[in-house]
Structure 1
Amino acid sequence: MKPGKVDFTAIPDDGVTWTLLGTLYLRAYESHLPRPILGDHYAVGAVERIEYDFDKLKRRVKPSANQFLVALRAVQLDDWSRAFLEREPEAVVVHLGCGLDSRMLRLDPRGARRWFDVDRPHVIDLRRQIYPEQGDYTMIGTSVTDEGWLADLPADRPALIVAEGLFPYLAETEIRRLLRRLTDHFPSGELLFDGVAPWMVRVSKPFVWSTRDGQDIERMNPRLTLAEQVPITAHRDRIPTRGYRACYGFLNTIPAMRNSSVDYRFTF
């Protein structure tokens, strides 16, 4: 972590990288609500330090509506993470495709756990300028699909593996291999991620992979057992704005919309 402004324009534009800044901005935007769902004040601090045309980004990500999609997804994964870490205090945490997410600070601000955030080298270089690498917290600059990085992680304790906003951007063969390496490396644990429905891949160009339900993953890796799958709309009552709360309630009545974005929890 270094003081002063951080230049985001130095990050290579691969057509997907901007989404990590968009997600960060939406979490920061949502935190300013009188009764936020996630309330990620760490995201606010990060946005304040990044040198970027946020007015242009605001027009692209439409925060008034999309802030709730991001916040509801994140808070469900945070809730599951806290519950697992309470049951397994010695567990290793592996956050795949961490981007600029502050989950480590939200759940383990003192760096007391063995926590590994993994993302591409240029993303990790940016993270190191924004977030402190302290205690037992470690950032790893590599593609999650590379094979070598897992060798340096402890293999003698349970693992909490979080992949938020990642799997839809990977090919199925990459996900299959990654899941096999993870379940082979760790003796037990939980896998938390969000997935999108097949129709979302057809209408959204960056998306590559979709899942109809958790059984797709169980067929992909027999060691993984579906524990819960929760549509984003399931927590619509947490939305503090009446109009958007009603909108999400309406979407929840339409199966295709209800299942468009789902959070999954698997055990192994």
Structure 2
Amino acid sequence: MTKEKINLGDVQETLLIPLYYRSLEAQRENPRIDASYDVDLVNKLDYDFSKFTGKLSMEGCVVRSIILDRETQKYINEHPSCIVLNFGCGLCTRTQRLDIKDSKWYNFDFPDTIELRNKLVKEKPNCYNISKSMLDETWPLEVNASADEDILVIVEGVFMYLTEADIKKFINIIQSNYKKVFALIEINPTIVVNNSKYHDSVKETSATFKWGIKYGKDLEKLDKGIKYLEEWNYFDYYENQGILFNIATKISLLKNLSYKIASYEFTAKSE
């Protein structure tokens, strides 16, 4: 079988990290997520995955999949005909794991990533891949949705590579086109900014971190139309990493150094 060669930008290359770690999880005796589809994708790629050896990165990628799968399915169950906007989709295989019911699912990413995705991922009906940046103000034109429909926004593994100005622009695009959306966003801790070279997996790429916040609620400071709802700390979901690690992650000061998934409500700006 001829494997697909990888030719991606610096940030785009990081999409291979969660793909690989999900595939490893799938091959465990008792996997916590059904990522068998990811194993097949990894086997189709001509890439040296062996350089990714981060134990904590693997746990983080699996944990965020567990949380996002659960919360996404919960939203779809409650809004079976919703619109899902998945930004920085990479080779996300969430639609393969979930019952997406009658929802319409839009995957957004850079052209090189979408080109690779179109070659490898067989989409379910009502799933669409869009070659546009989340900062492109024209991306809402690609979405068949009225301003007041039930809309779920997913941003996974993306915000850390953006500047605060970029994030404000992205939120403004949403607020300018939709009355209200529910958002699930991966929040990276402030400490990771300027420390990409120490990350146990990202250091193997040329990508760099640019943004982080200490608490999920801190995102509200960017715009009055942002309402923080809830967050899930990765450390609460980690499997046994040893006695010292388990004790340390119960200390609030250290726990706040963890990545999180946070939920929000974004509302349109008042006229």
TM-score using structure 1 length: 0.87
Does structure 1 residue 159 correspond to structure 2 residue 155?
A: no
CA-atom RMSD, angstroms? 2.0
Cα deviation for residue 113 of structure 1 reads: 2.1
Q: Secondary structure at the match of 2:235?
A: helix
Q: Which residue of 2 aligns with 1:199?
A: 191
Partner residue of 1:72 out of 40, 63, 75: 63
Residue 247 of structure 1, CA deviation: 5.7
Query: For structure 1, which runs of at least 5 residues remain unmatched after alignment?
Result: none
Q: Structure 1: how far apart are the matches of 2:99 and 2:171?
A: 25
Kindly tell me: are residues 215 and 64 of structure 1, through their superposed partners in 2, closer, same or farther at Cα, counting changes over 3 Å? Answer: closer
Change in CA separation of 1:265 and 1:61 when aligned onto 2, cut-off 3 Å = same
The letter for the 2-side match of 1:267 is: E
Quote the offset at 1:252 in angstroms. 1.1
2:204 alignment counterpart:
none
3-state SS of paired residue (2:193): helix
Structure 1 pair 235/173, CA: closer, same or farther in 2 (3 Å)? same
Query: For residues 8-157 of structure 1, what are the structure 2 equivalents within 5 Å?
Result: 8-9=5-6, 11-12=7-8, 14-53=9-48, 57-58=49-50, 60-108=51-99, 112-153=102-143, 154-155=145-146, 156-157=148-149
Q: Residue 70 of structure 1: CA displacement?
A: 0.6
Partner residue of 2:182 out of 180, 190, 209:
190
Q: 1:96 to 1:28 in 2, by over 3 A?
A: same
Structure 2 distance, partners of 1:180, 1:252, is 35
Q: Deviations over 1:179-220 (max 9, x none)?
A: 121133223231111111111113225110111223322121
Q: Which segment is superposed worse, 44-53 or 169-178? A: 44-53
Does 1:213 find its partner at 2:211?
no
Separation in structure 2 between the aligned mates of residue 99 and residue 267 of structure 1, nearest angstrom = 24
Letter matched to residue 172 of structure 1: E
Give the TM-score of the pair, scaled to structure 2: 0.86
Query: CA shift at 1:46, angstroms?
Result: 0.7
1:245 offset after TM fit, Å?
6.0
Tell me the distance in 2 between the aligned counterparts of 1:245 and 1:96: 35
CA gap of 1:248–1:37, structure 2 versus 1, over 3 A, is: farther
How far apart are the structure 1 equivalents of 2:226 and 2:33? 28
Corresponding residue for 2:255?
A: 258
Residue 221 of structure 2: SS of its match in structure 1? helix
Choose between structure 1 and 2: higher helix proportion: 1
The equivalent of 1:174 in structure 2 is 166
The AA in structure 1 aligned to 2:27 is H
Q: Distance in 1 between matches of 2:191 and 2:99?
A: 36
